[in-house]
Amino acid sequence: MRIGSGDATQAAVAAARPTTRPARDLGIDRFRGVLVFLMVAGNYLGGVQAVPDLIKHTPDVGLSVADVVAPCFVLAIGLNYGPSFRRRAQQSLGGAYRHFLFRYLSLIGIGAIISAGGTQIAGEPSSWGVLQALGLAGLVCLPVVRLGPYLRLAVGLALLIVYQLIVDAWLLDSVLATVQGGFVAGLSWGALLILSTAFADLWRRGWAAAIVCCAAFAVVGGLAALLVPVSKNRVSLSYILVTLAIGAIVFLLTEVISRTLARRPGYLAWWGENPLALYLLHLLVLALVVLPGVPWWYEQAPLWLAALQLAGILTLMSFAAWWLHRRRVRIEL
């Protein structure tokens, strides 16, 4: 087909534009939506004394349902980390690095503001939180994002071993005294993100590779648990590998289910489209319940009252997720 000068100019302009975003993967959105939903529910229920310990974070060694959510969320970040970087690198490699630096430094900054606010308002001193942990993990992962998936698997496992040796030898008390393990545990969370990006690349190559990778995580994690306690508070090597295996299996099941459902996003995908916005919103909503400081209203609330409050919180959050979806608003760094 003949292309005139005007057509050639238009083609050149189109080629110079940033690469179009790929269609959203509903399986990833739904997986992330489940995690945000569980995070909101878990953060509320964690402070209610009548709620069974099984669905609260373990004090130290052990594994509960709540302990699995954070590593799965890191996995969810890792699913899109590599493709997002490569898409930006097609336009400018330096620009891609600058964007990711800004993104994860911003998470650390937002987390620091939230921690400072919690210290001033709630009287709970803390210099570290979940957003700082995610931001530092993103920075740890950045230098190796362009490596092949198998090399990233090796790097991630090596970082976990180094972290475990350092903590066991010198820094266990420091890690246990800080939320999400503090700055030191950023090495472990970063290793988890590196492993997650490798799993994501293998999954995109084919399901067989992804299933083998899941099995490897489960076997190595099980063996590690014989030597190192499974502990979220320590962000231990065994904890990272065991929860990564669980998260990868749940994600693959979510993908299978998503491929059999209608291609409309639906309830869980609404929750997964704006995780940062919903995370920040849920902190404000929880404050309305927690800050009055009346024992019977929150900490000592009976199960029926806790159920009503949680239903109200989830309803409000669901409306916000639906509204953002309807308006096609995506709040991202």
pLDDT in tens, 169-225: 999 898 888 888 889 999 999 999 999 999 999 999 999 999 999 999 999 999 999
149 falls in which pLDDT band (50, 70, 90)? very high
What confidence tens digit (pLDDT) does each residue in 286-322 have?
888 887 778 888 999 999 999 999 999 999 999 999 9
Among 228, 261, 294, identify where a domain stops. Answer: 261
The predicted pLDDT at position 125 comes to 55
The predicted pLDDT at position 227 comes to 94
Reply yes or no on whether the pLDDT at 109 is more than 80.
yes
Same domain, 178 and 283: no
Read off the tokens for 94: 């330096």
% of the chain surpassing 90 pLDDT: 66
Across 23-27, 33-37, 139-143, least confident range: 23-27
- Once rounded to an integer, what is the mean pLDDT over residues 36-43? 92
Query: Is 15 part of any domain?
Result: no
Query: Is 308 part of any domain?
Result: yes
Inter-axis angle of helices 65-89 and 93-121, to 10 degrees?
A: 150
Among 227, 261, 295, identify where a domain stops. Answer: 261
Beta bridge partners of 61: 231
Same domain, 90 and 167: yes
Query: Is 314 part of any domain?
Result: yes
Same domain, 233 and 204: yes
Query: Is 53 part of any domain?
Result: no
Among 235, 261, 287, identify where a domain stops. Answer: 261
Reply yes or no on whether the pLDDT at 14 is more than 50.
no
Same domain, 293 and 255: no
- Once rounded to an integer, what is the mean pLDDT over residues 113-122? 66
Reply yes or no on whether the pLDDT at 20 is more than 90.
no
Domains held by the chain: number? 2
Q: Which residue has the higher pLDDT, 42 or 5?
A: 42
Cα 282 from Cα 320, distance rounded (Å): 10
DSSP H or E run through 325: helix 303-326
Q: Which residue has the higher pLDDT, 15 or 20?
A: 20
Read off the tokens for 233: 């508070």
Same domain, 76 and 210: yes
Same domain, 81 and 222: yes
- Once rounded to an integer, what is the mean pLDDT over residues 240-262? 91
What confidence tens digit (pLDDT) does each residue in 276-286 have?
999 999 988 98
Same domain, 159 and 255: yes
Dihedral of CA atoms 25, 99, 140, 21 in degrees, nearest 10, equals 10
The predicted pLDDT at position 154 comes to 97
Same domain, 148 and 212: yes
Q: Which residue has the higher pLDDT, 4 or 87?
A: 87
Across 129-138, 224-233, 256-265, least confident range: 256-265
Same domain, 208 and 246: yes
Task: Output the pTM of the full model.
Answer: 0.90
The predicted pLDDT at position 6 comes to 41
Query: Is 254 part of any domain?
Result: yes
Reply yes or no on whether the pLDDT at 55 is more than 80.
yes
Same domain, 291 and 257: no
**Across all residues in the chain, what is the average pLDDT?**
88
Pick from 75, 96, 95, 77: which is nearest to 85 by CA?
A: 96
Reply yes or no on whether the pLDDT at 133 is more than 80.
yes
Reply yes or no on whether the pLDDT at 18 is more than 60.
no
Same domain, 199 and 319: no
- Once rounded to an integer, what is the mean pLDDT over residues 101-116? 91
Using DSSP, state whether 72 is helix, strand or coil: helix
- Once rounded to an integer, what is the mean pLDDT over residues 240-263? 91
The predicted pLDDT at position 15 comes to 37
What confidence tens digit (pLDDT) does each residue in 239-248 have?
999 999 999 9
Reply yes or no on whether the pLDDT at 16 is more than 70.
no
The predicted pLDDT at position 11 comes to 38
Q: Can you say whether the dihedral through the CA atoms of 320, 72, 197, 213 is positive or negative? A: negative
The predicted pLDDT at position 23 comes to 66
Query: Please, is 52 exposed, middle or buried when counting C-beta atoms within 10 Å of its C-beta (0-12, 13-18, 19+)?
Result: exposed
Read off the tokens for 29: 């959105």
The predicted pLDDT at position 7 comes to 41
Query: Is 18 part of any domain?
Result: no
Query: Is 35 part of any domain?
Result: no
Residues of the domain holding 196: 63-261
% of the chain surpassing 70 pLDDT: 89
Query: Is 295 part of any domain?
Result: yes
Same domain, 185 and 133: yes
